[in-house]
Structure formats: structure tokens, C-alpha cells
Amino acid sequence: MGRGQGEGYYKMKELSNGITAVPGFLASGIYAGIKKVEKKDLALIFSEKQCTAAGLFTKNEVKGAPVIISQRNIKKGAGQAIIANSGNSNVCTGKQGIKDADEMAALTAKALSIKPNLICVASTGVIGEPLPMEKIRNGIANVVSKISREGGRDAAEAIMTTDTFLKEKAVQIEINGKAVTIGGIAKGSGMIYPNMATMLAFIGTDAKIASGDLKRALKAAVDKSFNMTTVDGDTSTSDMVICLANGVSGVSITKSKGYKAFQEGLSYVCKELAKMVVKDGEGATKFVEIKIKGAKTFNDAKKIGMAIANSNLVKTALFASDANWGRIMCAIGYSGVRIKDNKIDIFFDNVKMVGNGVGLGKDAEREATEALKQKEFAITIDLRLGKAEAALWTCDFSYDYVRINAAYRT
């Protein structure tokens, strides 16, 4: 499936069972009564062995209490468990919120007989309401008692909010003849416009890797996966990607040994999870890859791609299978990047719709419309100014986005 650069071949194969595909990881997910409807809302991920750990967190200036607590606990690069609830984000809850997140860590640590600073806490859901701590206390006792080698799916389900399907991915890579597993879970599906980290994603691996190297690899993976997606342009207050590495495989990864293979495996898991989040974007009926080619820099390419991917006008046109390339040109124009509009080519899948900034007529449009009727397609923009490129992922914008978000708290 992949090829390590400069390190010879290696193999990658997909596994089922998400994060619990990774040796040494247990998980569980239960209904603790936090959500109004009876759907799982409390998840636990636990490594039997202490891990090196890395985390990336939202750059939103308004940070949820769990973000603050997890950032503090993970600072030394160690971790062993993640306790996460859905149904309430514990954001804008003042000092009580911090206390509550801290108590979640403490209770989980006690029940697992590990130190509290080895716990990451995450919460997702409505902003501004106090956590129902009585339910959480009972829930933690319950969720700890249920952890198992098969619990990955339950944990993935318990972190869902408006998600319509659960998101998990695991791969096994071979490094110098030995197997290393990387598995993770994630949730979407609104307030998705990641900046640094995004929404919630929890990844485990049995690689043996120092926390500094793990963080570097995680940042590289997230920058090309979660950070290349947008559903609605809203960067959440609760975004968090945590990676725990328990070393159980016995395979040591260092900057000079196995790093590229590990990086590719980790990037693959992140990218697949990120794509699932976009596919399940609130109200989404279509999954769209936007490729920007011929830019002067990667940042230029990303800026232009994000301007297109965040344009309500583009997204409503995609919903209608309308090859309205004028709105794409318009978004390119206000992206903040210097371009030459009379050089731009635009393709819908492999149908060339715009050449040198001008539309190529009714026949092209008819073919482009067919491409846009698919559930998944790519839009490629060639700026013809340089050699940098970027690929990002978004979805269309339908009535259901409005319905879901007009009704979210009712």
C-alpha cells in the first residue's frame, strides 16, 4: 500500500476493531445519562502499559476545560488513558468546569489505579452547561468496569454527537520485518474547521517512540489530514488529537530508524479518519476533494482550497450539482493569495470546465454536471504559477445543515 522513502519497501494492511486493534489497548463506551436520548455518551481508552504521549489542541482562544486539563497532563509526554464524554462540551463553564474536568481525570485514574496526570480528558457537545457530575461519577465506575479488547467500537460510538456513523481505522505496518499497529477513532461533524488539531481523535500505537518524535510525527500527520478539512468554517473550542504509544510491539522508532514508515502509517490513519469526518459533515450529501496545483507555495494552495471549501455559495452549488465555476473563481479571488485569473484552469473530475480563466462552454458544462451528480468527486484548480500543491476535503451544504443546526439544542 505504501513505500517508505529511502528506507526500502514496507507493507501496510488494514485491520478491523479501530483503536483496540492495537495490542495492549482496551476500551469501552456506555450510556451514562449525559445525552437526552439513550445513546452511548462516555468512552474510555486504556493502555495496559504506560505510554509516551503527544497531543494537539485547538487554537481557539476559548478553550474547553478538558482541553486545558489535557494540555497540562500531557505536557511531560506521558499518558495511559483517555476519558471522553459526549453530550456536553464543558466549555465556558468557569472554574467549576476546570474542577469537573480535573475530577473526571482523578476518578478515572483511581478506578484504573494509575496516576491522574496520565489521563487525558475530552468532552464534546453543547457549550455552556455545567457537566452533570453525578451521572459522570457513576458513569466512570461503569465504563471502567466494562473495558475490553473488543471495546473500540463502543468507544467510537460514545464520542459521537451529530455524527451519523462511527469513525475508526487501524492499520498494521511492517518495519524491518516486525509488525507495528496504529489504530484510532474520531468524531465530527459540525464546528469543523480545524486549526492545529480538530474535533476529537484518539490514536493508539504499539510502536516504541519517544514523545518528542511522536509529537513531530503526529503534527505532520494532522497537518495533512484533519487540518486539511472543513465542514462549516467554525473552529471548535474542544478540538483535540491525542496519540498514545505503548511500545508493546518492541519496535523502536527513532528519527533515523523506521520513522518514515511509522509516519506514513500514522498519516494514513489520520487521513482516513479525517475523510470520514468530512463525509459525515452535518447535512452533507457529497464528499469533495479539492486539489490545488501550480501554486507558488503550499500555504497559498491551502488558503485557496480553504476559501473554496468554506464558501457557502460554492457548497450550495455543489449540493445542486451546478457546475457554477464562477463562484469558485470568485472564492479564489478573495482568498488573499495573488493569482493571475487568466491562467487558471478548473476541472470537475477530469472534465475541463475553465481554461485560462474562461468557461469552456455548454458541452463542458453538461459533462461537468454529470460529474457533480456523483456522491464523491474531485475539483482540481491549476493556478499555473508554480509547483506547490495541496489536497483538502470538504462536503456540500444542504438544507439539512440548517435543519440540524437550527434544532441542535431543542
59 phi, psi to nearest 5 deg: -95, 5
Give the interface segment with its own copies, choosing from 74-82, 110-118, 253-261, 396-404 (CB under 8 A): 396-404
Q: Is 330 one of the binding residues for its own copies (CB under 8 A)?
A: yes
Is position 370 an interface residue for its own copies (rule: CB under 8 A)?
no
Q: How far is the CB of 366 from its own copies (least distance, A)?
A: 13
Q: Per CB under 8 A, does 331 bind its own copies?
A: yes
Question: How many of the chain's residues bind its own copies (CB under 8 A)?
Answer: 66
State how beta strands 25-30 and 358-359 pair.
unpaired
> In this chain, which of 38, 113, 177, 342 binds its own copies, going by CB under 8 A?
342
Report the residue from 1, 326, 373, 376 that binds its own copies according to the rule CB under 8 A.
326
Contact present, 371 and 254 (Cβ < 8 Å): no
Which residues have C-beta within 8 Å of that of residue 358, sequence separation ≥ 6?
Answer: 342
Which residues in 43-62 contact its own copies (CB under 8 A)? 59-62
Ramachandran sector of residue 342 (left: φ over 0; alpha: ψ -120 to 50; beta: rest) = alpha
Cα distance between residue 105 and residue 65, in whole Å = 12
Site for its own copies in 27-46 (CB under 8 A): none
Name the residue nearer to its own copies (CB basis): 65 or 118: 65
- Identify the residue among 320, 378, 388, 391 touching its own copies (CB under 8 A): 320
Considering the complex, what minimum distance in angstroms separates the CB of residue 301 from its own copies?
15
- Cα–Cα distance measured from residue 184 to residue 140, given in angstroms and rounded to the nearest whole number: 21
The H or E element spanning position 273 is: helix 259-279
- Judged by CB under 8 A, the chain residues 272 through 311 that form the site for its own copies are 310-311
| 234 binding its own copies? (CB under 8 A) | yes
Q: Is residue 200 a contact point for its own copies (CB under 8 A)?
A: no
Q: Which is nearer to its own copies, 216 or 343 (CB)?
A: 343
> Would residue 380 show up in a list of annotated catalytic residues for this protein?
no
Beta carbons within 8 Å of 246's beta carbon, 6+ residues apart: 22, 24, 25, 47, 48, 49, 50, 51, 204, 205, 206
Name which of 156 and 191 has its Cβ closer to its own copies.
Answer: 191
Count of C-beta atoms within a 10 Å radius of residue 177: 7
CA distances from 41 to 34, 84, 193, 329, 408 (A): 6, 8, 23, 43, 16
| Identity of the residue, 47 or 398, whose beta carbon is nearer to its own copies in the bound complex | 398
Angstrom distance (rounded) from CA 188 to CA 194: 11
Q: Which three cell numbers stand for residue 118?
A: 496520565
Among the residue ranges 78-86, 164-172, 210-218, 399-407, the one whose residues contact its own copies (CB under 8 A): 399-407
CB of 284: closest distance to its own copies in angstroms?
13
Q: Give the active site residue among 93, 161, 198, 237.
A: 198
Q: What is the grid cell recorded at 140? A: 466512570
C-alpha cell at 214: 511522536
User: Phi and psi for 409 in degrees, rounded to 5?
Assistant: -95, 0
| Joined grid coordinates for residue 290 | 479539492
- Confirm or reject binding of residue 2 to its own copies (CB under 8 A): no
Q: Which of 189, 235, 267, 394 binds its own copies (CB under 8 A)?
A: 235
CB of 190 to its own copies, least distance (A): 7
Catalytically annotated residues? 198
Residues near its own copies (CB under 8 A) are 59-63, 89, 91-94, 126-129, 190-191, 193, 195, 232-237, 310-313, 316-317, 319-320, 322, 324-327, 329-335, 337-339, 341-342, 354, 356-359, 397-399, 401-403, 405-410
